[in-house]
A = this chain, B = another copy of it.
Amino acid sequence: MTTPNNTDSSSSEFPVPEVVIQRLPLYVRVLTQYSSAGEQVISSEQLGIRLQITPAQIRKDLSYFGRFGKQGRGYDVAMLERQLREILGLDRTWNAAVVGMGRLGRAVVSYPGFAPEGFNIRAAFDTSEYIVGKTISGLHVQSISLLTESVKELDIKIGIVTVPIDHAQEVIDAMVQAGIKSILNYAPLSPQVPEGVTIRGIDPVLSLQSMTYYIR
């Protein structure tokens, strides 16, 4: 090589594009499948076929974090999975709190997909006096006024918002106030959060509303 690049793995000094970060979990998912299928090695082409992404795209994404592959061979499945999990912070578990224990909140806390991936819902909150005090899916529903306290006590890093739209922004504000930096929002609004807080929306209606464009 003309350039003597001593690329430092995993502790990049310049910001990795958001789109890249969002693709990494897809890679992890496929690697996990490959791994449990007993495969030892995977090429960027095989990964790309599964995900409908060009091999070069995948190689470039990975190159932001280091050099993981072997030329002529591909990537060691177990090693790459481990590395990507570490990069994403998936080599540990995360505690979450749900606010809003109506229909949607109940569905979320009983969704069996979180725990196997290391996301554990440790606390549930609501404003309604009818719901506070109840036990739902093994969680004692507390008044939202106890949020900050619980966040500290239970080391909660993730907030999940399942309240109706007209209370969503204030709940989000309360989460931010309580020191939560990652929020998953199920309410159909465009929330405002300060710098340093990441928020992602889950909104099936929005998805449907953009799909109809193509079939109208």
Residues on A close to B: CB < 8 A? 21-22, 24-26, 28-30, 50-52, 87-90, 94, 103-104, 107-108, 110-114, 117, 119, 157-158, 181-182, 184, 188-190, 192, 198, 200, 202, 204-216
Asked if A202 and B207 sit within 8 Å, CB to CB, the answer is: yes
CA distance A5 to B190 in the complex (A): 35
Further pairs besides A21-B210, A29-B190, A113-B204: 12, Cβ < 8 Å = A21-B213, A25-B205, A52-B190, A52-B192, A88-B209, A90-B209, A104-B111, A114-B208, A117-B209, A158-B208, A184-B207, A184-B211
Residue of B nearest to A85 (CB): B209
Also in contact, A188 and B22, with CB within 8 A (given A88-B212, A103-B110, A209-B88): no
Q: Which of A90, A117, A210 has the most CB of B within 10 A?
A: A210
CB distance from A159 to the nearest CB of B (A): 11
CA distance A208 to B111 in the complex (A): 14
Asked if A119 and B211 sit within 8 Å, CB to CB, the answer is: no
Residue of B nearest to A157 (CB): B215
Asked if A158 and B211 sit within 8 Å, CB to CB, the answer is: yes
Residue of B nearest to A18 (CB): B210
Residue of B nearest to A212 (CB): B89
Q: Out of B89, B157, B184, B210, which one reaches A213, CB within 8 Å?
A: B89
CA distance A206 to B207 in the complex (A): 16
- A selection of 15 A-B contacts at a CB cut-off of 8 Å is A24-B209, A25-B205, A26-B206, A28-B209, A88-B216, A104-B111, A107-B107, A113-B204, A114-B204, A117-B205, A157-B215, A184-B207, A198-B211, A200-B208, A200-B211
